[in-house]
Chain A
């Protein structure tokens, strides 16, 4: 059947729980016939296209405690509620000041109209390999809090994505919060994205974090790439190569080359080629490191 309609949504039962417990139990009851609807900017499109056919949608926007941007001073941890919109992230002075990488990614995310609806939780749970908020959170060693009938757990975001559109979430799991530790001083970050036109999903996106130690030697390097593998990924092998070394043209080139070898862009992608994305991944890593250096010096 050729899905040619985006004028009308298919029918569904809308459940509006008042608490997380109610939501979890509804999801447990209906299993794969039910999904959470947050901002709706991915889910509703997929339902209009009949790619997703859930009979039950669980509306969680009325549940309190899921929309916040808080900074825990003592532990230097940022907590973002899953229902926080991308626009709220973009406009938060706290995030702009302490986590400019997230602000940079939020700015480039879709359009204003989408940012006002789309949620951080939704972007992560949709698990597109090109998800724009994923590389920044990965590179900041982000964690996600998941609530289910079994209780609550916190896992690293790096374990969250398991395939294109797939996460470790089970039927009654709800992602409630994202936690990010503030990077140490002398850390520069950058978010870069290449797309066909300015409002398009990424051909490749990159988040990079560089921490310098004594004598300007690299203390820590994080590189996360999106749209070039089945999930957004950290290129760990490349990252290791700079630890305790000085940042120079030669080391940068080596890291860029290794990063390119660690990614595996899909040949089925229509809007770019494997060759192109491998080539420009090196360019983005190189430019990313240089930009971070510059930002540290400022």
Chain B
């Protein structure tokens, strides 16, 4: 039953929506009471370890596991020959990844063999006893080089190492460029960022003699995961139970079935015992997924007055050794390029390319930070050439509510202008620009992000929920969504509480078990609050209808005249006629009726799939879209070129902040990722494809003493499609941060960098050149 929200319901003040309340899981987390994968032990459990390839590209000639098998305490040693012919991946036509390498390895870290032993230390010793003979193959590390003719193929069935290509044109770019007064062509590069979740990946696999599978996993998408796993193993979904354990950070890295999952499952099946695996930090860098490095070439046509009309984007997306979600990220990045500013002509050529490097997949913004980096840096180039202030240029071209983009996406709400104005005001843009303090620089960037995405797992994008009302009037929300620390469960509790009219403290949320929860695509694309929220709201409304019917019997009135707040049900035009919520629920379930109160609801939005030309019917791939802007001030030491981050102001249009502290926290956290990409992060490899910095002592992320002061601003455009007006909003800040800092450094130094990361080494090198000239 789809709940339609009438505009009159969208008030400004609510009982719990928008209030700063503690998160549902705050106390268990602050006392160390929650269980992550590493905390879970099962009886009779074995530990697994994986032997990984030390070479980036090599044929496997021979594997000898005999010494490992003989080590006391080792129960199993497996290689590819011990697994059925399974290939995993994310897109059906690109299941290209054997969980254990069959004939060759394709990157340093590729899984070659695995061991199950009675404890971790024994498993560790055992994998060192496995002997593998390799025949080295030439290594391909550069995606542009990988696409040329005489370079070895990483996957034999791909053409020129291209996993997938996307091409489309909307409007007429040739005419658009002809009519433009100025044309800008620029090339940008971004690097291979690692998620660095504090919790490393892991799982506990159980495959019992009844062929029932239970998998405990730190996972963002339990239902989609189960669906994919059922497909890979050719086992019905009903025989697979995914227990989503507390997730210690995801950011996109925990949104797929990994090789280690299949490995642990088969170890568990053969051993007849549960098998646990927790990756080390080094394996986390190499054996999971990372962000796609990209080459982004942008050609933009601009009218004399600064109106941006035409854009052409060429993308080379380096997806690493296996496709995974690479094609989706490639397509999404190309798709995103249509939404920046009000262009009427857009064309893209995008290629998802294999290289002999760790796998690239989903990572916060799903291509957004890369395309934003390119577009927003070029915006400043345009502003400089035309003599227009960077803020003014963006305001001039900003998307507006009611816009339908050239690709077909429709923005019912769009707070981009307000975001830009607020961040410019917050940092005192115009005054500071006039003052022009030495060594200081200001930068601004805008960003756009989807909310949900039809096409992520085919022609569907939905969430469902149950709301169970207990005998005593407390409520249990059952959602297939996932809280990664993002506050989803808190938001769902608040939405249920607000809709039902009960206290927030009386709501618990269950989301951890696919046996219990209804199907939900999962936590990706900032969809949680909007999609799960709408589903929960619908389910709560359904439960409320049942309760009001009974309350109306007890109060002898019309159920349509009733309202509920704070655990009380009352006549809306005579609140003194009231009955406690708990009295009605007890009445229904115990005293007279014995009727369980279960509300069910779902949200299946009106988003659409593209036609063969890539064009959408409104509203497009998403029901709603989010926007944001960020300004940042830096000080660059003229002699050491060190960049000091002074202050960042970030505004995001998230529709409605169900959970203001949570929404601010998302902004503040996302900025750390964006700044990291632009300033210090990125996996490095030598000529042979061996990682140079795959450890936390070498791969550095910004710490508390490195981060600037952040002022987060929540712009509430109150979208009628969302639960209480909520959209999504935890990724635009990441995209905007990376671009804004590059613009700020240019403002401070006069040097325009087009490659991330922008290090003091690079800045000083350019400053020296400039001074010597």
Contacts and interface: CB of A to CB of B under 8 A. Distances in A.
Given A1-B128, A270-B684, A270-B693, A7 B765 contact: no
Nearest to A3: B282
Interface stretch (B2-10, B24-32, B565-573, B701-709): B701-709
A283 B765 contact: no
Contacts of A6: 280-282, 695
Q: Which 9 A-B pairs rank lowest in CB-CB distance, beginning with the nearest?
A: A198-B705, A2-B54, A276-B761, A283-B639, A4-B282, A197-B700, A5-B280, A273-B761, A7-B280
Contacts of B693: 270
B599 to A, nearest CB: 45
A256 to B, nearest CB: 11
A8 B761 CA distance: 36
Contacts of A194: 640, 642
A197 B703 contact: yes
B52 A2 contact: yes
Contacts of A279: 764, 768
B704 to A, nearest CB: 8
Interface string B38-57: 00000000000100111000
B684 A198 contact: no
Interface residues of B, number: 40
A193 to B, nearest CB: 11
Contacts of B121: 8
Max chain A C-beta neighbours (<10 A), residue from B109, B121, B286: B121
Interface string B726-769: 00000000000000000000000000000000011100110010
A297 interface: no
Max chain A C-beta neighbours (<10 A), residue from B120, B278, B697, B705: B697
Given A5-B282, A6-B280, A271 B765 contact: no
Interface string A1-38: 11111111000000000000000000000000000000
Given A4-B52, A4-B283, A283-B639, 11 more contacts: A2-B54, A3-B282, A8-B121, A45-B697, A197-B680, A197-B700, A197-B702, A270-B684, A270-B693, A270-B698, A276-B765
B646 to A, nearest CB: 15
Interface in B164-185: none
A7 B680 CA distance: 26
Given A270-B692, A270-B693, A196 B700 contact: yes
Contacts of B52: 2, 4
Interface in A146-201: 194, 196-201
A237 to B, nearest CB: 23
Contacts of B281: 6
B124 A197 contact: no
Interface string A124-148: 0000000000000000000000000
11 contacts: A2-B53, A4-B283, A5-B280, A6-B282, A7-B280, A197-B680, A199-B700, A199-B703, A199-B705, A276-B760, A276-B761
A180 B227 CA distance: 68
A280 B760 CA distance: 10
Nearest to B768: A279
Interface residues of A, number: 26
Interface of A: 1-8, 45, 49, 194, 196-201, 270-273, 275-276, 279-280, 283
Contacts of B701: 197
Max chain A C-beta neighbours (<10 A), residue from B280, B692, B693: B280
Nearest to B128: A1
A199 B701 CA distance: 10
Instruction: Please classify the interface of chain B as helix (H, G, I), strand (E, B), loop, or mixed, using the class held by over half of its residues.
Output: loop
Max chain B C-beta neighbours (<10 A), residue from A1, A2, A273: A2
Nearest to B704: A198
A5 B761 contact: no
B311 to A, nearest CB: 35
Contacts of A271: 698
A200 B640 contact: no
B108 interface: yes
Contact of B703 (A2, A8, A45, A198): A198
Contacts of B120: 7-8
Contacts of A198: 703, 705-706
A198 B706 CA distance: 6
A79 to B, nearest CB: 32
A280 B640 contact: yes
A224 B580 CA distance: 77
Interface string B98-126: 00000000001100000000001100100
A199 to B, nearest CB: 5
Contacts of B765: 273, 275-276
Contact of A2 (B108, B680, B764): B108
Nearest to A204: B640
B764 A200 contact: no
A3 B285 CA distance: 13
Given A1-B54, A6-B280, A275 B761 contact: yes
Contacts of A200: 700
B484 to A, nearest CB: 23
A275 B766 CA distance: 12
B282 A283 contact: no
B127 to A, nearest CB: 9
Contacts of B702: 197
Contacts of A45: 697
Contacts of A1: 54, 128
Contacts of A283: 639-640
Contacts of A197: 680, 700-703, 706
A4 B286 contact: yes
Interface in B683-698: 684, 692-693, 695, 697-698
